[in-house]
Structure 1
């Protein structure tokens, strides 16, 4: 299971890196074409806008998994060891709820967008916003993993102290 989760993490991070590199390449090509060849790419702005949606909603769970989002350290510092553990679980639960709401709302939104196409790239608009749903589901997966690890660590500590 741990191996599968590591693979999923690497795939998502690779997609984010690849997407970011593609956005830089397309932006650079657009600037080059506009200023040196005096012709503009008709689709580059749309690609970068839609790429930004995917990039943001896939990077949010990556930062969450790595513990890089801002925390409430002032409150946490007043808590004891047990309080910090339960506070972390509470925060992870909030991430789960947020991911659930985003996933549910996006699922409904994607149904409406399935009949629309983008102007420049002619992509189905539900593909464009699928990154929001994938990011929300990945966020839920990370929240479940963190909560499970938290309770597993707590159980291991309690069994070691009893034995």
Structure 2
């Protein structure tokens, strides 16, 4: 199971690279064509913006999985193990709540977005805004699994230290395994 999950996230990282590359190629080509030929690709501006939206929201999922989002550890560092676990659990509950609202908001807007068309490409705007389903759903699932690990007592000292932003060479090695 862990291997399949790792492969999934590796594929997401490759997708991010592909989307970033597409953005660079489209924008660069458009700049070159405007500079040298006084013309451009009309869809490149629009599609590069769509790619940017997808990069942002897929990147948020990858970043959340890697615990790389910003955090405020000043208070958490003062707590012991139990206090940190309580803070971890409360954090996961809050993130789950926000992710559920995000998913629900996407759901509420999906009929409107599906009926709207992009001005140049004519693509349904659900292709842009529908990424909220993926982002909200994935962040909710990741958070729920973390909360489950906390409740079952399967949180390692390395994970607790990472939550409090206390990195030690030994703990980093344990976390990587």
Q: Distance in 2 between matches of 1:155 and 1:67?
A: 14
Q: Would the alpha carbon gap of residues 51 and 156 (structure 1) be closer, same or farther in structure 2, given more than 3 Å must change?
A: closer
The answer to whether the 8 A contact 2:116-2:124 is kept is yes
How much does 1:146 deviate?
Answer: 1.8
Q: In the alignment, what sits opposite 1:161?
A: none
Q: In the alignment, what sits opposite 1:29?
A: 29
How much does 1:26 deviate?
Answer: 0.8
**RMSD, matched Cα:** 1.9
Q: Would the alpha carbon gap of residues 9 and 155 (structure 1) be closer, same or farther in structure 2, given more than 3 Å must change?
A: closer
Q: In the alignment, what sits opposite 2:126?
A: 126
Query: Which structure has more RCO (C-alpha within 8 Å, separation ≥ 6)?
Result: 1
Q: In the alignment, what sits opposite 1:99?
A: 99
Deviations 1:47-83 (A, max 9, x none): 1211121111111121111111111111111111111
Q: Distance in 1 between matches of 2:24 and 2:6?
A: 27
Q: Would the alpha carbon gap of residues 140 and 113 (structure 1) be closer, same or farther in structure 2, given more than 3 Å must change?
A: same
The answer to whether the 8 A contact 1:53-1:132 is kept is no
The answer to whether the 8 A contact 1:103-1:132 is kept is yes
| Corresponding residue SS for 1:30 | helix
How much does 1:154 deviate?
Answer: 4.0
Q: Distance in 2 between matches of 1:156 and 1:98?
A: 25
Gaps of 5+ in 1: 158-163
Alignment TM-score, normalising by the size of structure 2:
0.80
Alignment TM-score, normalising by the size of structure 1:
0.87
The answer to whether the 8 A contact 1:54-1:132 is kept is no
Q: How many residues were matched structurally?
A: 157
How much does 1:103 deviate?
Answer: 0.4
| Corresponding residue SS for 1:72 | coil
The answer to whether the 8 A contact 2:149-2:155 is kept is no
The answer to whether the 8 A contact 1:57-1:136 is kept is no
Q: Distance in 2 between matches of 1:88 and 1:46?
A: 40
